Amino acid sequence: MRTNDIILQTVTKIVSFIILMFALHIFFAGHNNPGGGFVGGLLTSGAIVLLLLAYDIKSVANSLPIDFKIMVAVGLLFAVGTGVGSFLFDVPFLTHAFGEFTLPLLGKTHLHTAVLFDIGVYLVVVGSTLTIIQTIGEGE
Amino acid sequence: MAFQILLNFLLAFTWMFFESSMETSTFIIGYLLGMLVIFFMRRFFSSRFYVYRIYSIIKLILIFLRELLLSNLAVLKVVLQPKLNIRPGIFAMETKLTSDWEITLLANLITLTPGTLVVDISPDNKILYVHAVDIEDAEEAIEDIRGSFEKAIMEVSR
């Protein structure tokens, strides 16, 4: 007999949003504060694992139709892409560039290409964590 | 829809506390990031992602403004004609809309279309009685316009 997990599901629905928001905060805090792509990615996969605990594997896969193996590939592409991009400016592999920009909302911002590399790390971490968990979960 | 907007506001405030900055720009950034998160999780809600609905509301407003302009030009043309060769009449029109505000909105929009005016609504809210300035060529064209209005309203309320 299946128990009724309505409380767990309702709380999960709200809490997972806060976790995802905190993951974004951690991700953007990476440069000057503790945080970055790795913890941000782990927190994001933590939110999805919470969803997997509250719902079954099938309904989560229906609601988030993402192939996490492709997500890993896209993440690696981001990381390699920022490295290769440095060749365009005649500098060694993985040389990063940065600059001060004035953006409409953020004001004076220090933009760094390391963020693009971090997005790659983020996607790889989320993709590989969830591939591991879903593969183990699906196996009988 | 209201729940999603409320959640988006909550997420924006959560972001402000995470960043420990109480400025408007932080709120806006938090709101946009929250919108992203809600978009990512949109299939967990029973209703659609609320931004689609806001988009259809804006579309309805634009349709309203266009029809307002066109109806006034049409009336101008009728008034300035030297001979009054119009054939007024009243026809019944069925509607699929159910809630009160939808019918009110549809009736008001029909009233603003060129050459039509809602006279009465049947007691069971199913049939609108529309007065047309020129009943001969009106019927067909008005069915088209009504289709676009009814569809636009349904897109908002669906």
Q: Interface pTM (ipTM) of the complex?
A: 0.76
Residues B35-94 have pLDDT tens digits of 998 888 888 888 888 888 889 889 888 988 888 888 888 888 888 888 877 788 888 888
Output phi, psi for B124, to 5 deg. Answer: -90, 15
Same-domain pairing of B124 and B97? yes
Q: Are strands B116-121 and B127-132 parallel, antiparallel or unpaired?
A: antiparallel
Same-domain pairing of B55 and B35? no
Q: How far is B37 from chain A (nearest CA, A)?
A: 7
Q: What are A92's two structure tokens?
A: 């060694």
Residues B1-13 have pLDDT tens digits of 788 899 899 999 9
**A100 or A7, which is more confident:** A7
Which structural domain, as residue segments, surrounds residue A8? 3-136
pLDDT at B140 over 90: no
Same-domain pairing of B85 and B135? yes
User: What DSSP designation does B105 have?
Assistant: H
Same-domain pairing of B39 and B96? no
pLDDT at A5: 79
Same-domain pairing of B112 and B37? no
Q: What is the pLDDT averaged over residues A72-99? A: 86
pTM of the full predicted structure?
0.73
Same-domain pairing of B146 and B77? yes
Q: How far is B44 from chain A (nearest CA, A)?
A: 6
Question: For residues B32 and B1, is the Cβ–Cβ distance under 8 A?
Answer: no
Share of residues in chain A with pLDDT > 90 (%): 34
pLDDT at B138: 61
Which residues of chain B have a CB within 8 Å of the CB of A25?
15, 18-19
Which residues of chain A have a CB within 8 Å of the CB of B40?
20, 64
Same-domain pairing of B82 and B108? yes
pLDDT at A90 over 90: no
Query: Closest chain B residue to A55 measured between Cα atoms?
Result: B44
pLDDT at B45: 82
Window 85-114 of A: residues touching B by CB (8 A cutoff) are 105-107
Same-domain pairing of B120 and B137? yes
pLDDT at A123: 93
CATH code of the domain in which B70 resides: 3.30.70
Q: Which of B7, B14, B25 sits opposite A107 (nearest CB)?
A: B25
Q: Which of B18, B25, B28 sits opposite A22 (nearest CB)?
A: B18
Of A35-39, A107-111, A116-120, which gets the smallest average pLDDT?
Answer: A107-111
Same-domain pairing of B125 and B66? yes
Query: How many folded domains does chain B comprise?
Result: 2
| H or E segment and range at residue A9 | helix A6-29
| Inter-chain touch B41–A16, beta carbons under 8 Å | yes
Same-domain pairing of B27 and B62? no
pLDDT at A110 over 80: no
- The C-alpha atoms of residue A37 and residue A30 are separated, in whole angstroms, by 7
Neighbours of B139 (CB within 10 A): 13
- The C-alpha atoms of residue A100 and residue A110 are separated, in whole angstroms, by 5
Q: Which residues have a Cβ under 8 Å from the Cβ of A120 and sit 6 or more positions away?
A: A37, A75, A76, A77, A78, A79, A80, A81, A82
Same-domain pairing of B32 and B81? no
| Inter-chain touch B18–A20, beta carbons under 8 Å | no
Query: How many folded domains does chain A comprise?
Result: 1
Which structural domain, as residue segments, surrounds residue B22? 1-44
| Inter-chain touch A21–B18, beta carbons under 8 Å | yes
- Tell which of A15, A25, A51, A122 to mutate to test the B interface (max B CBs under 10 Å): A25
Output phi, psi for B56, to 5 deg. Answer: -70, -30
pLDDT at B115 over 70: yes
Q: What is the pLDDT averaged over residues B110-121? A: 81
Q: What is the pLDDT averaged over residues A70-94? A: 88
pLDDT at A1 over 60: no
Same-domain pairing of B64 and B84? yes
